[in-house]
Amino acid sequence: MILIKNARIICASSEHHMKQMDILIRDGIIENIASSIENDNAQVIEQENLHVSIGWFDSSVSFGEPGFEERQTMKNGLQVAATSGFTHIMLNPNNQPNPQDASGINYLKSISSGSPVTVLPVGNFSLSQEGAHLAELYDMHQAGAVSFYDYKHSVENANLLKVGLQYVKPFKGIIQSFPQDAQIAGKGMINEDQAGTELGLKTIPTFAEELRVARDIELARYTGSHLHIPTVTTNAALLLIDKARESGVQITCSVAIHHFTTASDALLDYNTNFKVQPPLRDVEETKKVLDHVKNGLVDMITSDHIPLTIESKDVEFDQADYGSTGLESAFGMANEALGTEQSIELLTGGYAVFQKELPKLEKGSPANLTFFDPSESYVLSKQQLSSTSKNSLFIGRNLKGKVLGTYNNQKLQWNERNS
């Protein structure tokens, strides 16, 4: 048994929202929620300014295992996710071999069992992510794949995406399409703006994203199937998605936290940690995306966590790999930019989009919880990162709010630094 004392509940769907309550958990079930609970046999969780919400959901997480264990093992990655407040993560097909049949999905589920973090595997959309032939979508769905995605690869074959959307519609499968036209993007690495000009690197115009999103909207409209656009970065693309939804198109989207908190001028010292995909946009575009996040145009926010080795980043800019870690900074950056209640809403939006039952913070429900203190401010340092790879673009940034722990799958993670 676990007794959580004097915790402020942040859960808009709960009758206890914004109230200070005690919570008693027995065998993974919330047995009682009351203003005061006493139980001599329970493990007591008590912390100054303790807040609790339903467990957070990250829709875009990459580890290394299998194939790239030097980036991040499953064990380290799940520990990082748990200590960062996430009880559910969607694991991208960004390893080797990528899951493209039922056995690949089953393997990922088997090596991630026994954790307070529930892993929801994402399978390849096309075989080997080459965009020529569909992977075994139905078999992966039956095995537990939550979505299908050629991770960070544009689906250039519009007919293949159309056929895929038609194929998954009967079993309500969800396909993700990376929002970038590969031919327009070409060999560009950063956004086409003043910073790009000063850096002298090959650039990508924003309309590479808008053009692809516009095409994909029409394919979703034609098929009537659910299409998810991950990590959208431009004002125009978000407006297109919003207009499409209003007209009845079944389309959802996410925005990576760095795309509404960090602009392309951060690249001016050639720090490769800021080399991400899609690229960081200019200050004006970044502010517009932040406004859209605040105004409800976005279904969820994501860390878009991509661990990379020193050898992948400590090279010349045009040779460096794309990506930044983000799990450990996700809440602190989101809370600083959006405030606590909206951050929690957007960090839990993935349940509805990806058809997972929304956890309940009420008596009799399975306990799926995140514990945090939203008020503590600090500067993120490399030493604070427990991820194997330290390629975070948020090192040196001011964060607000610290995660205290998680509870899920009848397992408690209580962060040692707060004991």
Burial of 362 (0-12, 13-18, 19+ CB in 10 A): middle
139-166 burial, b at 16+ Cβ within 10 Å, e below that, comes to: bbbebebbbbbbbbbbbeeeebbbebbe
User: Could you confirm whether 101 is annotated as catalytic?
Assistant: no
Helix axes 330-338, 340-347, angle to 10 degrees: 130
**DSSP of 14-46:** STTTT-EEEEEEETTEEEEEES----TTSEEE-
**Contacts of 246 by beta carbon, 8 Å cutoff, 6+ apart:** none
CA distance 71 to 346: 27
b/e map of 395-416 (b: 16 or more CB within 10 Å)? bebebbbbbbbbbbbeebbbbe
Which residue shows structure tokens 């959580």?
Answer: 4
User: Using CA atoms, how far apart are residues 159 and 341, in angstroms rounded to an integer?
Assistant: 41
Tokens matching residue 395: 């090192």
Distance between CA atoms of 110 and 117, rounded to whole angstroms? Answer: 13
Token digits for 241? 């998605």
State how far the Cα of 330 lies from the Cα of 348, in Å rounded to an integer: 13
Nearest to 305 by CA among 274, 328, 278: 328
Q: Give the whole-angstrom CA distance, residue 55 versus residue 64.
A: 24
Candidates 269, 304, 314, 318; catalytic one: 304
Q: What is the C-alpha separation between 276 and 219, in angstroms, rounded? A: 27
Q: Which two tokens stand for residue 16?
A: 């206890």
Active site residues: 304
